[in-house]
Amino acid sequence: MDQMETPEINQPEIPAVILIEVTASDDSMTGFIKLVKQGENPLPVTKEQLIEALYANRITYGIKESSVEKLAARPIYNIKIEVAKGLAPINGEDGTICFFVKRDAEYSPEINMEGTIDYKNLDYFQIVKKDQVLAEIKKESEGTEGMNIFGGIMPAKNGRPAPSPVGKNTHLVQDDTLLVSDCDGVIRFIRDTIDVNDMLKINGDVDQLTGNVNFSGDVTIEGDVSDGFSVKSGGNIIIKGVVEDATIEAAGNVHISKGINGGGANSIYVGGNLKCKYIEHANIHVEGEINVDYIIDSNVTCMGNIALGGSRELIVGGDVRVLGELRAKDIGSESERNTRIEVIGIKNMDTETIEKLTKERDEFSARMQLLVEGAQKMSQSRMNAGEDVMEQLALAKKQILVIRDKVDQLNFQIQQAEKNWTMEFPGSIICKRKIYQGVKIFFGEEKFHFELDNIEHCRLFWADGTIIHGTL
């Protein structure tokens, strides 16, 4: 008997389809479609189906119809295809200032073929005329909003306005885009602000004919400053001759075409920078930098750098103290003349804690003073006062004692904090040729020892609590 044949079971065919997967980037600025084929020979997708899938996933902005159309016509499977792109926001530009006058830092001495600096070049101080344009201000611009692929607004930042350059004797014109001078004068920068200082001009010497000079603005002297006279300025001083044993005080910079021949009796104070050819037998304090050819037998304190440049670049004799860098060719002389160089130190302490404790102490002291005054008034009227007033007086006295103890504690903490300090020496001494015997070099009270011989081509600086002798 023939075996019965097993009837074939017809499995239903799974229709071939194309899955449309829609995704977006994390910043919601880019949309993708990935086609996933399931089965063989699926029916093609249409552009309309792809766009409908995008809409179904809330992607409505920045759809690249040409990319969608190409993907429908020539499907690419299992790869994410970019089909939508948002519009990125554009931040506004910050306002800027274009200066038509130079800052102090943009100047350098002019040196001729022989290596000599031209100290007669007085362009360092810029003289401007009334209504002269000093700067142009480009205003800030507003940002432009963007939009992500879901139709959400992407905010943009507006640009920040440029800092105002308006200073003394200047004003803005043409819709606040140009800065002009109100008067003839000399330029002085204070950060990004331009002052035009009135200028006093003396066509000859400062002597018996002129008397002493005391002026709030800038001063220009065509001749010398004679022995025993004084020139005081609230701005800059230009002297085209020499300074003898005279008193000079300037809040700004001082430029002396020739030099300083002091006699030791008078002094020079410069709130900015000092530039001159030489310094001899003078007492000088400069808050900024010193640019000079040589210094001889002078007492000089400089809170910035001392740069010697010219034919000699020499320091010999006297006492020179500097907070920044001192750069010279030679220091001292072959005759071993006594010359003292000191790098000034800076105390490093916890000023933030000291200020906080001081503020707290002052607040308690003010409260205690009010309580003392109130207690004195109650004491004066206690003969006719009731029990409540007497109780208030007793309470006030207790509070005064408590606060006084607190003030004493804070004073002690301030004293302890002030005792805990270290000394730092940010400056250095650079000698391009030779430091001779007879020169004594100090970093604060710490002396640098080199008794055996002269030293050459060196850099002396402070590190890790000691003086380091390096070479150039």
Q: Tens place of pLDDT for every residue, the chain, 472 residues?
A: 455 555 555 555 556 788 999 999 999 999 999 999 888 888 889 999 999 999 999 999 999 999 999 999 999 999 999 999 999 999 999 999 999 988 765 655 555 656 555 544 444 557 788 899 999 999 999 999 999 999 999 999 999 999 999 999 999 999 999 999 998 877 888 888 999 887 888 889 998 888 888 887 889 999 999 999 999 998 899 999 999 999 999 999 999 999 999 887 889 999 999 999 999 999 999 999 999 999 999 999 999 999 999 999 999 999 999 999 999 999 999 998 999 999 999 888 788 888 999 999 999 999 999 888 888 887 776 556 567 777 788 888 889 999 999 999 999 988 888 888 788 899 999 999 999 999 999 999 999 987 667 788 999 999 988 999 988 7
> What SS3 class is residue 399?
helix
Residue (of 47, 54, 44) closest to 68 by Cα position: 47
| Rounded Cα distance, 24 and 2, in Å | 65
> What SS3 class is residue 171?
strand
Question: What per-residue confidence (pLDDT) applies to 109?
Answer: 55
Instruction: Please list, in sequence order, all residues whose beta carbon lies within 8 angstroms of the beta carbon of residue 296, skipping any fewer than 6 positions away.
Output: 278, 279, 280, 281, 314, 315, 316, 317, 318
| Rounded Cα distance, 23 and 10, in Å | 39
pLDDT tens digit sequence for 33-91? 999 988 888 888 999 999 999 999 999 999 999 999 999 999 999 999 999 999 999 99
CB 442 within 8 A of CB 425: no
Cα 178 → chain centroid:
25
Question: What per-residue confidence (pLDDT) applies to 418?
Answer: 82
User: What tokens does 57 get?
Assistant: 């996933």
Burial (CB < 10 A; 0-12, 13-18, 19+), residue 93, is middle
Question: What per-residue confidence (pLDDT) applies to 240?
Answer: 95
Q: Which of 124-145 are b and which e, b meaning 16 or more Cβ less than 10 Å from the residue's Cβ?
A: bbbbbeeebebbebeebeebee
Question: What per-residue confidence (pLDDT) applies to 119?
Answer: 47
Q: Where are the beta strands (DSSP E) in 114-205?
A: 127-128, 133-138, 146-147, 153-154, 170-173, 178-181, 185-190, 193-197, 199-202
Report the 10 Å Cβ neighbour count for 253: 25
Sheet hosting strand 30-38, strand order edge to edge: 17-24, 30-38, 81-85
Domain ranges of the chain: 17-85, 96-116+123-143+154-195, 198-278, 348-423
CB 308 within 8 A of CB 314: yes
C-alpha pair distances (Å), 78 with each of 15, 75, 328, 468: 19, 10, 73, 68
Amino acid (1-letter code) at residue 166: V
Amino acid (1-letter code) at residue 239: I
CB 270 within 8 A of CB 285: yes
Question: What per-residue confidence (pLDDT) applies to 121?
Answer: 46
Question: What per-residue confidence (pLDDT) applies to 125?
Answer: 58
> What SS3 class is residue 402?
helix
CB 50 within 8 A of CB 20: yes
User: What tokens does 355 get?
Assistant: 């200020």
Degrees, nearest 5: CA angle 152-157-161: 160
Whether the full predicted model's pTM is greater than 0.85, yes or no, is no
Question: What per-residue confidence (pLDDT) applies to 122?
Answer: 40
